[in-house]
Structure 1
Amino acid sequence: MFNEEFQLDAPIRWGMVGGGRGSEIGYSHRAAAQRDRLFTFVAAALDLDAERGRDFGTKLGLAPERCYPDYKTLFAEEAKREDGIQAVSIATPNSTHYEIAKAALEAGLHVICEKPATIHVEDALELKALAEKQNKMLAVMYGYTGFQMVHQAREMVRRGDIGAVRVIQMSFAHGFHNTEIEKNSPGAKWRMNPEVSGPSFIIGDCGTHPFYMAGMITGLKVKSLMCSRQSFIESRTPLEDNAHVVFQFEGGAVGTLWASAINSGSMHQQKVRIVGEKASLEWWDEYPNQLRYEVQGEPVRILERGMGYLHNDDPGVSANRQGGGHAEGFFESWANLYHRYALAIDAYNRNDKAFLESHWYPDIDGGIDGVKMVNACVKSADNGAVWVDYD
């Protein structure tokens, strides 16, 4: 079971950039970070409108003087305080991630960044080098990877339960943007603006989630890919609202990814299916407490979170906040990740390299991989759905 005992000398003083009033992602970060008392929310630059951000921040319990008009002022003023922030989460549009993360690292802060880490691969690599120089954690928020049964799948693959991986099927295909909702939704509008979101909409916004998860579970690296993308809502051109990607992995495995915002009637359809030589595994985020295990020639088994037959020696599998049968969901997954971020930050502060070598969390390497995938997909699709080398 999850250990709720306090594991740090003191909570990590934490701030936010973005995630203002009405932001679902902002609320998700705040709820997750404070769930286990390992982070204390003390300062923020929540909104481009300074007054609106201050009003919202004070209603969240922040002191008015620590509700800043922008990230530069946040970092500069907090650096002057003995009780200034030690870590920051970035929940702003894609095109701003690089500059804010760079400024945060230069200010000596640990960083948790929304995905994609950056628009350009070179920028993500620069951030990685800067984080290493500063000896600071640089994490990328892949929020679904805190689910225990995702870690169970990873352990089963690692231990050979399904044999060598042959095929990976990935999808994140919802229907919530099957009409031009961006006309009346600011949150959707920026995601479909290439100057803000970058060269991709749905591949970067949703497709990167199962892609990261598949790599986490299998450990396989992409060799080459081919992508076809469409803008069924024509005003979204050149950004896609539907895409199909075919992958060739190192070692011979193959895979597919369907990323879509126009899958009418679908809630999420985020699934990862791993087909091995002996058996297959399938995880679906709408049923996150279960993992489907299919051995050739045997009845299908539905493995349940919180049960003794799982690989509970892995802390990702055993991070149960309730016993089996009680549904755990999205916020538990995020809280599990923030718990891991806190332990990583503590290890960085203590320079405990041995702990960091064995401690998993979604780090900048996964973020770099996501940026590379998005850019390779755009290159392939814009050249007629041709095969392109991943590196």
Structure 2
Amino acid sequence: MINGEKNLEKPIRWAMVGGGRGSQIGYIHRSAALRDHHFQLVAGSFDIDPDRGRDFGVNLHVDPKRCYPNDQTMFHEEGKREDGIQAVSIATPNSTHYEITKAALNAGLHVICEKPLCFTTQEAMELEKLAKEKERVVGITYGYSGHQMIEQARRMIENGDLGDIRIVNMQFAHGFHSAPVENDNASTKWRVDPKVAGPSYVLGDLGTHPLFLSEVMLPNFKIKKLMCSRQSFVKSRSPLEDNAFTIMEYENGAMAMIWCSCVNAGSMHGQKIRVIGSKASIEWWDEHPNQLRYEVQGRPAMTLDRGMDYLYSEALRDDRIAAGHSEGLFESWSNLYARFAKAMEKADRREAFNDVWYPGIEAGVEGVRWVENCVRSADQGAVWVDYQ
């Protein structure tokens, strides 16, 4: 159980690019990073408007001299300091991720980046190569994967509790954009602009989340081919989709499907993953993240609860409070930031950190690759394509 005691020798000196006043995701980053004393916020380039960003940073107790007008200036100036930043989180629109991540790595910094890491697999692989050359950690904020019941699912599958895995059924389908809300909402408007959002909307923004959950649970399953159909039900969003269905075949013959949508009217969040084996199935729903449904063929269905002694030990390590009390998204993100911090500390000490599981650069590359293949299939008329 995590109780807030010191895990690192010293907190990692940390900065943010983006995530300024009014940014919901920025607050989540800071809440997760600052918990448990893993990181210390010492600098930032919080806003495209330098004055507004400086005012915001000061209200976060950041030295006004270390509130910078842009990321390039911050990396340059912090590099001159003995107490300069060691890591940076990037919470800016999609189109900026590649250049900022590249600049941060070249400045010798660890990086935590919002997904997508970039727009093309070629760019993603370039960043992966650079991160390895610089021996820096790149974490991707697949924020739902820090829930303990995802780890429980991983261990159940690994230990054969479900038998041979046959089908993986995933969805992330909410209804909050079932009307053209982007007309009055700036934070949604850029998400449907190809110049800023990239080659997809819900495939990249939503679909990659359950995809990564499946990668956590089934780390050895590799996609062989897929077929994707995508639609723009709100026509002004075209060519970007607001709904998509993707069917996938794994190399071992198992099958999977992902439905991602922002026009599922009436749905609050609608992110679920169901893994079906030859003996049993499990299902996790992010609106009830403390439970995992476990269904053994021929027996009554069971609901497994977070924090209980019957879970695998790996699923209990990230508990922050006793069973019966609910944990949520902030705890999940905090668990990921704790993993990022441990990996960064080990990297700085030139120690192997293969034993530290976290959504790293490989997860970022795979998310970009999956979107690219889905778009290729959909744009050819929803045909099967070999996974490249």
Which interval holds the TM-score relative to the shorter structure? Answer: over 0.9
Which residue pairs with 1:293 in the alignment? Answer: 294
Deviations 1:317-352 (CA, angstroms, capped at 9, x unpaired) = 421101111000000000000011111111001111
1:2 is matched with 2
Partner residue, 2:237: 236
Say if 1:187 and 1:11 are closer, same or farther in 2 by CA, change over 3 A: same
Counterpart of 2:203 in structure 1: which amino acid? I
- SS of alignment partner, residue 84 of structure 1: coil
What is the one-letter code of the residue matched to 2:68? Y
* CA positional deviation for 1:105: 0.4
Question: How many angstroms apart in 1 are the aligned matches of 2:26 and 2:2?
Answer: 25
Are positions 1:167 and 2:164 aligned together? no
How far 1:215 moved relative to its partner?
Answer: 1.4
Q: Give the alignment of 1:334-373 within 5 angstroms.
A: 334-353=333-352, 356-373=353-370
CA displacement at 1:250 relative to structure 2: 1.1
Are the aligned partners of 1:306 and 1:318 in contact in 2 as well (CA < 8 Å)?
no
Gaps (5+ residues) in structure 2? Answer: none
Unaligned runs of 5+ in 1: none
Could you tell me how far 1:216 is from its partner in structure 2?
A: 1.1
1:147-167 alpha-carbon deviations (Å, 9 max, x no partner): 000000000000110011100
Q: Any residues of structure 2 matched to 1:186-205 within 5 Å, and which? A: 186-205=186-205
SS of residue in 2 equivalent to 1:77? helix
Instruction: Tell me the amino acid that sits aligned with residue 160 of structure 2.
Output: G
- CA distance in 1: counterparts of 2:85 and 2:234, whole angstroms: 43
Q: CA deviation at 1:184?
A: 1.1
Is the contact made by 2:163 and 2:278 (CA closer than 8 Å) also made in structure 1? yes
| Residues 1:323 and 2:322 are matched in the alignment | yes
Deviations 1:146-205 (A, max 9, x none): 000000000000011001110000000000001111111111011100000101001100
- What do the CA deviations read for 1:26-65 (whole angstroms, capped 9, x no partner)? 1100000001111000101111111111111111111111
| 8 Å Cα contact 2:174/2:262 also seen in 1 | yes
> 2:77 maps to what in 1?
77
Q: Quote the residue 2:303 is aligned against.
A: 302
Contact 2:232–2:240 under 8 Å retained in 1:
yes
How far apart are the structure 1 equivalents of 2:302 and 2:289? 15
Deviation at 1:3, TM superposition (A): 4.2
CA offsets 1:98-127 (integer angstroms, 9 cap, x no match): 100000000000000101111110111111
Match for 1:262: what amino acid? V
Deviations 1:192-247 (A, max 9, x none): 00000101001100110001101110121111110000001111000000000100
Alignment of 1:218-297 (within 5 A): 218-219=218-219, 220-297=221-298
Q: Is the 8 A contact 2:4 2:35 kept in 1?
A: no
Cα distance in 2, alignment partners of residues 230 and 9 from structure 1: 50
> For 1:42-121, what aligned pairs fall within 5 Å after superposition?
42-121=42-121
Contact kept? 2:228, 2:382, Cα under 8 Å = yes
Separation in 2, partners of 1:297, 1:318: 32
Following superposition of structure 1 onto structure 2, how do residues 172-191 of structure 1 map, counting pairs within 5 Å?
Answer: 172-191=172-191
Whether the aligned pair in 2 keeps the contact of 1:97 and 1:113 (CA below 8 Å) is yes
Structure 1 position 381, deviation (Å):
0.6
SS at match of 1:14: strand
**% same residue:** 56
Shift in Å, 1:358: 1.3
Matched positions, count? 387
Q: How far apart in 2 are the matches of 1:358 and 1:6?
A: 19
Question: Is contact 2:111-2:139 (8 Å) kept?
Answer: yes
CA contact (8 A) 1:53 1:69 kept: yes
What is the one-letter code of the residue matched to 1:352? E
1:97 counterpart letter in structure 2: H
Distance 1:27 1:33 in 2: 10
User: Secondary structure of the equivalent of 1:30?
Assistant: helix
- The Cα offsets for residues 231-274 of structure 1, whole Å up to 9 and x where unpaired, read as 01111000000000100011000011000000000011100000
Aligned to 2:132: 132
**CA–CA distance in structure 1, aligned partners of residues 183 and 247 of structure 2:** 32
Q: TM-score, normalised by structure 1?
A: 0.98
Query: Does structure 1 conserve the Cα–Cα contact (< 8 Å) formed by 2:4 and 2:37?
Result: no
1:311 alignment counterpart: 312
Whole-angstrom CA distance in 2 between matches of 1:94 and 1:390? 24
CA–CA separation in structure 2 for the residues paired with 1:271 and 1:382: 26
SS for the counterpart of 2:7 is coil
Contact 2:178 2:265 in 1 (8 A): yes
The structure 1 segments of at least 4 consecutive aligned residues displaced by more than 3 Å after TM superposition are none
Contact conserved, 2:247 with 2:255, CA < 8 A, in 1? yes
Asked whether the 8 Å contact 1:337–1:361 carries over to 2, the reply is yes
| Secondary structure of 1:136's aligned partner | coil
Letter in structure 2 aligned against 1:35: R
2:359 is equivalent to residue 380 of structure 1 = no
The Cα RMSD (Å) is 0.8
Helix, strand or coil: the match of 2:36? Answer: coil
